[in-house]
Structure 1
């Protein structure tokens, strides 16, 4: 059976100041995927403002994740 969950995207930073994107469960079915930390590294030199723009795009365009 396929389960689906709405997601929340946030920007975080490594100790070095390099931003990265985190995907977190917001609502919906409990997915095994979210028993772990899910982070996405961005290219070196990505600014915090650029990371926020990416987060905003993801928030508008990727609203659910599915797991089978």
Structure 2
């Protein structure tokens, strides 16, 4: 079976948007680090683990959109 591949604008735009969003997210977390740095070390660890994983939640839907054009 031969499938004709037709490139779309969603992948390059999606990659650029993802990189921009992750950069903004990283800057926001870095800006919050003086506040988080005043907390107890165990709270800091939990906060950074949660903040390091939470950005993955919308990623699945975004990657599906990049591939298919539908959200989810």
Give the TM-score normalised by structure 1: 0.31
More strand, by proportion: 1
Return the index of the structure with the highest Cα Rg: 2
Instruction: Identify the structure with bigger relative contact order (alpha carbons < 8 Å, sequence gap 6+).
Output: 1
